[in-house]
Structure 1
Amino acid sequence: MSGPAPEALAEPSQQAGRAWTAALSLANGAIWVGWYGPLQILLALQAAQLAPPETPKESVLAWVTGAGAVVSMVSNPLFGALSDRTASRFGRRTPWIAVGVLGGAGSLVLLAGAGTVAVMVLGWCLVQLTLNAAFAAVTAAVPDRVPPRQRGAVGGWLGAAQILGVVAGTGLATAAGGVAAGGVAAGGVAAGYLACAGFVVLGTLPYVLLHRDPVLPAGRRPALSVRALAAGFWISPRRYPDLGWAWLTRFLINLGNALALLYLLYYLRDVLHRPDPGGGVLILTAVNGVTLLGTVVVGGFWSDRAGRRQPFVLWSGVIMTVATGLLAGWQTWPGALCAAALLGVGFGVFTSVDFALMTQVLPAAAHRGKDMGVINIANALPQVAAPALAAPIVHHLGGFRMLYAVAAAVGLVGALLVRRIRGVA
């Protein structure tokens, strides 16, 4: 284990090229298509179709998304750790991107044919398992290949691809699924899943086929054992306090965002009484995407130039709090449009700058994949917590108005906690 660090473990010093950044961003966007076509449209429609008469559709959706999020929470650091130990001639990350997207596409096909809630739960859990294998490798590639001074910009492009993936996934689900005022065209949900599956595969091909991943020599591969993998899920906040506070900031802001988005289709249908709730979700997602795209890359570049991350994360969280508060206090279609626009502004800056901040508090190069996976739990865990919190709030504690008030408060606390990080300006 002595001698200079191999390329796969060295701290990157050369700037990432445009072609590499574009291909990685496209792969990232494709993964988000596979997640958010179902999350925004298809799972909600399928839950309404398959829910037993005595069970509310919201509860079915909560069980499905919650189970998938538990799988996501475990699989992301697990596959990150496995990619850290992969010494193939194709590199550490690329094999897992390829296997993950193929498995994800197959799992979406399984969901397309689901005829019961049980198969729906199984299919969504498999989607989360496989796409998280790919996502863990994609996010680990950034600290592998991008120097810290460029990570805000690259994080911005990844964030832009993420929101385009959300918009594309929602658009594919809406168009292929035939979502309309009267419900769903025959076979519509299945067509939506198949369209998302095809995009997941095609979007990752440029990165997998055209870009070399640094190879880890077999002699530098960390030992593989169940005990080591399990122990790696815990990173002591006492030993690494900046990582602990950064994780908590990301978790709370993502929880607020998840609470705001989880029941959006039902909010439009049951509170605003939109005649075309699926189309309304697509419009709001597009508005959100336009404002997000206007800030995500700019915010990343700006934080690189300023050499500071904390102020950008703080004020982006405040803007998102205001946006979610609008959904609680101004329950009209114009209010929803304004909230979507503001949420895009805030989340755009947060997405790029917080990603860069996270890569700068990683403990060691040898297990970047595992550590990024642990950080990504802060994205997955809110998907577990949000349904558990949202369903009782909507049904017993004040409805959608209270739900969005709680979401705003949670996001604001998360934004304020970024000030506790000391090692990154």
Structure 2
Amino acid sequence: VLGICGGVASLVLLAFAPNLVVVAIGWCLAQIALNANFAAITAAVPDHAPHQQRGTIGGFLGLAQTVGAVVGAGLAAAAGGIVGGYLACAVFLVIASAPYVAMRRDLVLDPADRPSFSWGTFLRGFWISPRLHPDFAWAWLTRFLMNLGFAIGLVYLLFYLDDAVHHENPEAGVFLLSAVNSLALLVTVVAGGWLSDRFDRRRIFVTVAGVVMAAGTLSLAGFHSWTAAIIGVAVLGLGMGVFTSVDLALMIDVLPEAIDRGKDLGVVNIANSLPQVLAPVVAAPIVSVLGGYSTLYAVAAGVTLTGAVLVYRIKSVR
């Protein structure tokens, strides 16, 4: 509920922001509120879902993220302007969240069983020792690398189409490629999680996903054409769909302690959001100084393959 209220307030602030400073403040507040909301929803999975269904549920969560991004863009476009777009998204946030808030039944700890709160313990809790919890550390690093490779693969598509492919309308081309990527992701996101549950295996699915994603970015690296771009982003989406569902189940399986699931999954969420920030920082010097787009997409492939290999350092999950 707090995430919804904060999200609505930040979206309204963005709708009527008079200058860039207020836009920056509104955007940061939206990230804080909506990511808090997402972390709380994700924490419900280990609280309620048995081990043998977590991959499938992860698939549906991944499906919701992908469809949500498309619906949000559609709402903004249909509203016919910046103010209307943000307000439409704010209203939809309330409508979409109301069933969850009304129907969800939390498992509430008895006050006697709750640990005493202190700010020192709270802040120290965000450090999860790799020495004490190596499987969690390797799983976090795997997720970070796979998301970084995916983000690098998408962040410079506009310039890739303009500079390397020489597409006549790169903006429209990026829109189409994004749609192809999302559709490909939707094809595998639920099926990948279900198969992971069916065979009770996580690591092999993460590895296969990484190899498929690397194949997609290598297509972009080796063939600078419109056809190669479509094939590349489609293959990248197929791999990311499998990874999105299976990796959530894997991360839940290696959480250190049940009492800290919400906080630990918040730490996991950093491995999703940080790559989106770092991808442009990594990509810019590669494109401008270190070899251009072929090198950029080869690096993206190398990053995802590294994640696909490191997942086997996790020992407590098959």
User: TM-score per shorter chain, which class?
Assistant: over 0.9
> Within 2, Cα distance between the matches of 1:110 and 1:136?
23
1:380 Cα deviation (Å)? Answer: 1.8
Partner of 2:74: 171
Q: How does 1:7-406 map to 2 (within 5 A)?
A: 98-176=1-79, 188-269=81-162, 271-274=164-167, 276-406=169-299
> Within 1, Cα distance between the matches of 2:167 and 2:302?
27
> Within 1, Cα distance between the matches of 2:211 and 2:246?
15
| Structure ranking higher in helix proportion | 2
1:319 Cα deviation (Å)? Answer: 0.5
CA contact under 8 A between 1:172 and 1:195: conserved in structure 2? yes
**TM-score (norm: length of structure 1):** 0.70
Over 3 Å counting, the alpha-carbon distance change for 1:201 and 1:313 in structure 2 is same
Query: 100-109 or 296-305: which moved more?
Result: 100-109
**TM-score (norm: length of structure 2):** 0.92
1:137 Cα deviation (Å)? Answer: 0.2
Over 3 Å counting, the alpha-carbon distance change for 1:319 and 1:126 in structure 2 is same
Over 3 Å counting, the alpha-carbon distance change for 1:366 and 1:415 in structure 2 is same
Over 3 Å counting, the alpha-carbon distance change for 1:400 and 1:172 in structure 2 is farther
> Within 2, Cα distance between the matches of 1:330 and 1:193?
39
- How many equivalent residue pairs? 318
> Within 2, Cα distance between the matches of 1:242 and 1:324?
28
Query: What is the RMSD computed on CA atoms of the aligned residues?
Result: 2.1
> Within 1, Cα distance between the matches of 2:159 and 2:8?
27
1:118 Cα deviation (Å)? Answer: 2.7
Q: SS at 2:148's partner residue? A: helix
Unaligned runs of 5+ in 1: 1-97, 178-187
1:142 Cα deviation (Å)? Answer: 0.2
CA contact under 8 A between 1:328 and 1:401: conserved in structure 2? yes
1:176 Cα deviation (Å)? Answer: 4.3
CA contact under 8 A between 1:152 and 1:301: conserved in structure 2? yes
Q: SS at 1:394's partner residue? A: helix
> Within 1, Cα distance between the matches of 2:17 and 2:161?
26
Unaligned runs of 5+ in 2: none
Over 3 Å counting, the alpha-carbon distance change for 1:282 and 1:165 in structure 2 is farther
> Within 2, Cα distance between the matches of 1:101 and 1:257?
28
Q: SS at 2:187's partner residue? A: helix
Partner of 1:19: none
Please tell me the residue identity of whatever aligns with 2:95. Answer: L
